[in-house]
Amino acid sequence: MPRKKTPSFEQALAELEELVQAMENGDLSLEQLMDNYAKGVELAKFCMTSLDHAEKAMDVVLKEKGGAVEEFRLEIEGDAREF
């Protein structure tokens, strides 16, 4: 039996958002709500674990750089911010 492909953080977050939207619409049966809730909990855990791993990886990078934090410019969809 083929193994399920692990989703990316972005895919899991998008699926979680879709589940929440469907639940908020109020058109689901109780069984569907429970299924969505259970799936949502798993997706939320996956996302939190992914974020935790990313944070730990950033800590490693900072330690390798001697703990120095440098300013950088982050651009997201036309929104530029300085950090």
Which residue reads 């958002």 in tokens? 17
pLDDT higher than 70, residue 20: yes
Range of the domain at 27: 9-82
Q: Is residue 42 in some structural domain? A: yes
Comparing 13-17, 40-44, 50-54, the range with the smallest average pLDDT is 50-54
CATH code, domain with 72: 1.10.287
Around Cβ 42, how many Cβ atoms within 10 Å?
12
Q: Is residue 58 in some structural domain? A: yes
Give the mean pLDDT of the chain. Answer: 84
Q: Is residue 3 in some structural domain? A: no
Q: Is residue 78 in some structural domain? A: yes
Q: How far apart are CA 39 and CA 75, in angstroms?
A: 32
pLDDT higher than 90, residue 38: yes
Mind listing the pLDDT tens digit for each residue in 61-73? 777 777 666 666 6
What domain count does the chain have? 1
Q: Is residue 2 in some structural domain? A: no
Query: Cβ contacts of residue 16 below 8 Å, gap of 6+?
Result: 40, 43, 44, 47
Around Cβ 12, how many Cβ atoms within 10 Å?
19
Q: How far apart are CA 68 and CA 66, in angstroms?
A: 5
